[in-house]
Structure 1
Amino acid sequence: MTRLVLAGAALAAAGAALAQAPATAEARNMRLAGYNDLQGRTAYQPTIAHQGQRWIAYVGHHGDRKLNPLTGKDEDNGTSIVDVTDVHNPKYLAHIPGEPGKAEQGGAQMVRVCSGADLPKADKSKFYMLRVFGNQAHEIWDVTDPARPSLLTTIGKGLKGTHKNFWECDTGIAYLVSGHPQWRTNRMTQIYDLSDPAKPVFIRDFGLVGQQPGAGGPVPIAVHGAISTGPKGNRVYFGYGTNTEGVVQIVDRAKLLNGAPEPTVENLLAPQVARLDLPPMHGAHTVFPIPGMPIAEFSKNLLGKTRDFLVITDEAIQKECLEGRQMAWFVDATTETKPFGVASWTVPEHSGNFCSRGGRFGTHSSNESMTPVYYRKIMFFAHFNAGVRAVDIRDPFNPKEIGFYIPAVNKNTVVLETPASMIAAKLPYTEAANRLAIQTNNVEVDDRGYIYIVDRANSGMHILELTGPARDIANWQAAVR
């Protein structure tokens, strides 16, 4: 693979360990537009909101504790708020502390934002942020002035787990990944009507059969998150699992919201359209729907010219490739009750010797924005030590990588802790596990076409743009005018 090595500052002062990692960014058809260090915090989900004449990035963090230079105090990792109107000069506006604790046990990983102008019953002049508070609860904040956020209300206190929420801004329906104390799993789904963010209305609890209170037998894998197509598409796509025993569940949205709420076996199955069980060594971190996809190759066929697809992204967990390769899978769901895989995509390991670079190698997440700039054309996949990858999906039967960007490690980059599962399994542990490595964790795009990646190993937020042939596919110039 041909690579363009971007110029970068030498990192000798950071010590011998830092010198083991690439000291310059690596890229093809992507370039750096802007950067913010996010106060050196370990980051999970970025969400980009267009607020009036401004563009604001809200970034959720894993648990830890760092100095906030704005207050001069050490604060538990929570939510960073960054003005990215000028992507070349991002301005850090505020940090909202999260739950005390390390990694998955603290912080405020997930964040979504809706405008009051879109929410049916909200104050039309305001903007609202939905976030998790560690594993304990969900919160709604008034972020109309993003530099001065204020807590509006708390939802679901006393939970035993949270994660990747989804909020329909046009209806207010929210799918909150929670851990209800009476359920048998630490992550199921609680559905709320947040059309008036100040007055949350509970609708129902939902999960796989076997997770509900009073069930017996093995407990199915926990949910990771959902993506809804809203009233028009009338589907909700649930992904369960990370790197093992994954499940994809296609659900009728109307039946889910209007059906009997008691978590009986019958009521949990009633809205289910289909269930796809993945192989044992693959999960479903993100399930991204692409319905109504025209297939150029089939344009002269009588049938099948347009297809519905799901793009399923696994999450790599173990360092040094000590697991099955986690990657992206393309599933044809045109016949919803019989979804089947038609393609897969991964970064070739030999293209960067990624299994020996240190850290995790494999996919983690895809972008979730359906902006017309990229939808049905290009998807972006966070790939840990292989950075972010741009993939041409115009032919979902043959996805092709068209660009990538791997940031250089910097003074804030740390070596991530060894996963407990790796220790428990007594897996081999080599020198590579102690090397500094970029760990691109999550990716999102905005309606201008900029790409935002954040790093699990404290390396900050990089704002990117496409170049060359990749930029042409996105029709970038039309998008930014």
Structure 2
Amino acid sequence: MSTPVVEIAKAFTPLGHSDQGGRPDAMQMQYRNGYVYVGHLFSSGFSVIDARDPRDMTTVGFHPAPPDTWNIHLQAADDLLLVIHAKDLWKEFSAEQSYYQGSVGTRLAGTRRTWSAGVAIFDISKPAEPRQISFLEVDGVGVHRLWYTGGRWAYASVLADGFTDYVFRVIDLQDPAKPRWAGEWWLPGMNTARGEHPDWDTDRWRYALHHAIVDGDTAYASWRDGGLTLLDIRDREAPELIVHRNWSPPFGGGTHTAVPLPARDLLLVADEATADNLQDGLKHVWVFTIAEPANPVSIATLPTPTDQAYPVKGGHFGPHNLHENRPDSFVSDTLIFATYQNAGVRAFDITDPYQPKPAGALVPGPPSRLMDPRPGRPRVIQTADVHVRPDGVVFCTDYNAGLLSAQYDG
């Protein structure tokens, strides 16, 4: 435990910081029953942190991944923790842009399998002691990200043999000890095993499901350079397309997260900044109206932070993830939290969705050391994920600087 160092705190009061037991490389996190579960980008596994007192967070366990395997994403609900297994692509594509450009499945086709691929399912009825109860396997590269808020169904982005990249799949957890794959959906052109061929420039653009967020019977799916789809999943065995929208080009792609605000017929869509110093262009969080689900229309973007010289600060500048309004978290359709990598965490007021306004900023100081093994990386913050408790306590991760907590005061 250490005192957090911050560069900017507007409407936020810093509370605590954890280096996660000496493994401060943090990607996605899940907050559940006072504990934070963190997937590591470089340390090959996940950690459990007792965050019941956000001012004094304690690491209580590290769970290593199998060799050559990523555990960077996870989901927690209903006393279950779902952890992804996939090939460690950071080792495969050490030049970062090569990871984001072109079809990963096509480039790795025929690679000898040395990693674990699928979803590990843990019992977390004892929150500090995850106990694996099953594993749902994939033949291929593996699983990238999940969506699970409890109940029978979970949702995954899956790269199986025969596909160009990650696609949408449903997981049936009726019996968590015996999970099974249910329905799936992909963008036409991705299923090479069926003889399909991409009609996009596969040397420049990467069409791949990052993940989908589900509300009711609709999955709001983000496809990196392939844009956005709304999927009808009333039949979990046979998802169907409602609409596909893509604004890349002319914009730079990287569509990462789509958060529905159903009470207002709005959808927030974040395009991830994936290159240093804006080399992939300025990215945005878009505000869509989905009053007519078959015709989403963008009506605004969230304001780009300008309180520092972020385009030349080093590292990535621009959106990464959004607070996803999980049922057990702070849920709002007017106050939005987003991570902006070297610009930290941002809060926005979208009471008027046509004119979003800044509502707070939390920019942590530089990491004390770099976990990123690539040579020449800048020592700057790269805020990755954010979760907000119902009481306004905010947790955010960084893939070099660990876990930070703060109180939103706005």
| TM-score scaled by length of structure 2 | 0.84
Once residues 87 and 316 of structure 1 are traced to their aligned partners in structure 2, the CA distance between those partners, rounded to angstroms, is 29
1:34 to 16, 27, 33: 16
Once residues 164 and 444 of structure 1 are traced to their aligned partners in structure 2, the CA distance between those partners, rounded to angstroms, is 16
Residue 246 of structure 2: aligned partner: 277
1:396 equivalenced with 2:353 (yes/no)? yes
SS in 2 for 1:465: strand
- Residues 354-433 of structure 1: pairs in structure 2 closer than 5 A: 354-370=310-326, 373-414=330-371, 417=374
SS in 2 for 1:355: helix
SS in 1 for 2:229: strand
Once residues 139 and 26 of structure 2 are traced to their aligned partners in structure 1, the CA distance between those partners, rounded to angstroms, is 24
Once residues 248 and 401 of structure 1 are traced to their aligned partners in structure 2, the CA distance between those partners, rounded to angstroms, is 25
Residue 27 of structure 2: aligned partner: 44
Once residues 157 and 460 of structure 1 are traced to their aligned partners in structure 2, the CA distance between those partners, rounded to angstroms, is 30
1:323 to 264, 267, 280: 280
Once residues 24 and 70 of structure 2 are traced to their aligned partners in structure 1, the CA distance between those partners, rounded to angstroms, is 10
1:60 to 13, 20, 39: 39
Once residues 201 and 107 of structure 1 are traced to their aligned partners in structure 2, the CA distance between those partners, rounded to angstroms, is 21
Aligned partners of 2:218 and 2:233 also within 8 Å:
yes
1:176 to 145, 156, 171: 156
- Residues 196-275 of structure 1: pairs in structure 2 closer than 5 A: 196-212=175-191, 213-218=193-198, 221-230=207-216, 234-241=217-224, 245-255=225-235, 257-259=236-238, 271-275=240-244
Please tell me the residue identity of whatever aligns with 1:25: E
1:453 to 396, 405, 410: 396
Percentage identity across paired residues of the two chains: 24
Once residues 33 and 391 of structure 1 are traced to their aligned partners in structure 2, the CA distance between those partners, rounded to angstroms, is 21
Aligned partners of 1:319 and 1:358 also within 8 Å:
yes
Residue 68 of structure 1: aligned partner: none
1:186 to 165, 182, 192: 165
Once residues 398 and 362 of structure 1 are traced to their aligned partners in structure 2, the CA distance between those partners, rounded to angstroms, is 19
For structure 1, the residue ranges without an aligned partner over 5 or more in a row are: 1-7, 10-22, 66-76, 116-126, 260-267, 294-307, 419-432, 471-481
Q: Which has the higher helix share?
A: 1
Two-structure CA RMSD over aligned residues (Å): 2.1
SS in 1 for 2:340: strand
Q: Deviations over 1:392-417 (max 9, x none)?
A: 12222111111011111242345673
Aligned partners of 1:211 and 1:219 also within 8 Å:
no
Residue 132 of structure 1: aligned partner: 84
Structure possessing the higher radius of gyration over alpha carbons: 1
| TM-score scaled by length of structure 1 | 0.72
Once residues 322 and 377 of structure 1 are traced to their aligned partners in structure 2, the CA distance between those partners, rounded to angstroms, is 32
Q: Deviations over 1:44-73 (max 9, x none)?
A: 1111112xxxx11111111x34xxxxxxxx
Q: Which moved more, 1:364-373 or 1:399-408?
A: 364-373
Deviation of 1:214 after TM superposition, in Å, equals 1.6
Task: From the superposition, tell whether residues 343 and 247 of structure 1 become closer, same or farther in structure 2 (CA, over 3 Å).
Answer: same
Deviation of 1:364 after TM superposition, in Å, equals 0.5
Task: From the superposition, tell whether residues 238 and 24 of structure 1 become closer, same or farther in structure 2 (CA, over 3 Å).
Answer: closer
Once residues 450 and 413 of structure 1 are traced to their aligned partners in structure 2, the CA distance between those partners, rounded to angstroms, is 26
Once residues 229 and 374 of structure 2 are traced to their aligned partners in structure 1, the CA distance between those partners, rounded to angstroms, is 32
Residue 335 of structure 1: aligned partner: 292
1:78 equivalenced with 2:45 (yes/no)? yes
Deviation of 1:208 after TM superposition, in Å, equals 1.2
